[in-house]
Amino acid sequence: MTDTTPQPEDIRRINLALQGGGSHGAFTWGVLDRLLEDERLQFDGISGASAGAVNAVAVAHGLAVGHRDGVDGRRHARDKLGSIWRSVMATGAVNAISGNLGNVLPFWSLLPDPGRMLGNALMQFTSPYSMNPLDLNPLRALLSREIDFEAIRAHRNGPKLFISATEVSSGKAEVFTKRELSLNAVVASTCLPQVYQAVTVDERTYWDGGYVANPPITPLIAQCRSADILLVQISPLTREGVPTTPTAIMDRINEITFNTNLLAQMQMVGFINRLIDEGKLQEPEYKKVLVHRIDGGDTMRELGSYSQGSTDTVMMERLFDLGREQASAWLKKHFGALGVKSSINIRRDYKDDNALTMRC
């Protein structure tokens, strides 16, 4: 029998940056399922916001419990991802991890424009403090059942974790590390304020992390050794045409809002890389970052952001399959770039046309 165990020279350590986006996070589930299948990859750090945070802790749980119990952690992580997402499909817990501001209730996302407009209008005049006074949250129960947070915190050899949430009073990003990780921290990262009461962690209150860091990139640069960051992007940056219906307009506003910080972070990475290339900054004091991306392409754009609140099983299973396909294609085409060069053009894909040319 041929030994297929990767040799040390074949191993690549990478960081994962997992974007949030409600039920579209099933695409990331598929991507992670395929990446975990490839034993040439090891994960140095994982960051996530909202649905990306849920995916991140599912992977960390599987690796931690596998290490603790002496079983295949990668297989356990794949199984845990599947268990969580199938529970989401069965219970509608996607409400709590939706990155779409205006369409967070599944029955609204299935209605034609007039019905969805009415639902959106109602949200302008109601509050979760009156509509959901007991603060019932299906995701909290799901994660409490599925994730062993103590095992994750105790897994010293596991990947570093960075989970973002928005601190309500300051509007700034709070990034919870593995040491600070808790059920409340992950629920905070998924908390849409129109639907759920703000989540309290250590006497401070938080909303969805997608507002300020979707996902966090900077901690992966500053606190991880690997120079490679693989972004799993599920929210399209560009969309052809001008939206004209109220729903389409709001959907596009939401996409832009949840991508703003990602654009800023990527532009910063590109700028630092350029200064290093020009000899104006020196390594190792400054680290050149190698950036890679897996996204859903035209399929994700065709879905539209309104479907982020849908619990349609067929759609989510299709996204899982698409994630696996895209990850397989990326591994085939770009695995050799890891540790060598970026496989995307940051300046082209994340450029800011209004930025002034900066000279040092």
Contact 326, 297 (CB under 8 A): yes
DSSP letter at 299 equals H
Q: What is the mean pLDDT of residues 129-136?
A: 80
Contact 45, 220 (CB under 8 A): yes
Q: What is the mean pLDDT of residues 166-184?
A: 96
Task: For residue 215, say if its preceding peptide bond is cis, omega within 30 degrees of 0.
Answer: yes
Percent of the chain with pLDDT over 90: 60
Q: Which two tokens stand for residue 122?
A: 């109602």
Q: Report, in angstroms and rounded to the nearest whole number, the Rg of the chain calculated over CA atoms.
A: 20
Specify the pLDDT at position 320: 97
pLDDT digits (tens, 9 = 90+) for 291-300: 999 998 888 8
Distance CA 231, CA 212 (A): 16
Contact 21, 310 (CB under 8 A): no
Q: What is the mean pLDDT of residues 125-145?
A: 83
pLDDT band at 129 (very low <50, low <70, confident <90, very high): confident
Specify the pLDDT at position 13: 97
Q: Residue 330 — φ and ψ, nearest 5°?
A: -65, -45
pLDDT at 114 over 60: no
Three-state secondary-structure class, residue 2? coil
Q: Residue 301 — φ and ψ, nearest 5°?
A: -65, -35
Q: What is the mean pLDDT of residues 13-19?
A: 97
pLDDT digits (tens, 9 = 90+) for 188-215: 999 988 888 999 999 999 999 999 999 9
pLDDT at 78 over 80: yes
Distance CA 178, CA 163 (A): 9
pLDDT at 307 over 90: no
Q: What is the mean pLDDT of residues 114-121?
A: 47
Three-state secondary-structure class, residue 240? coil
Task: Give Cα 41 distance to the centre of its chain.
Answer: 19
- Cα 323-312-120 angle, rounded to 5 deg: 110
> Of all helices (H) and strands (E), which one includes residue 294?
strand 290-295
How many residues are listed for the chain in this entry?
A: 360
- Residue-wise over 68-101: b if at least 16 C-beta within 10 A, else e? eeeeebbebbbebbeebbebbbeebbbbbbbbbb
Range with the poorest average pLDDT among 23-37, 97-111, 161-175: 97-111
Q: How far from 158 is each of 57, 179, 188, CA to CA, in Å?
A: 11, 12, 23
Specify the pLDDT at position 90: 82
Specify the pLDDT at position 96: 43
pLDDT band at 66 (very low <50, low <70, confident <90, very high): very high
Q: What is the mean pLDDT of residues 113-139?
A: 66
pLDDT digits (tens, 9 = 90+) for 92-113: 554 445 444 333 333 333 334 4
Q: What is the mean pLDDT of residues 144-168?
A: 96
Identity of residue 334: H
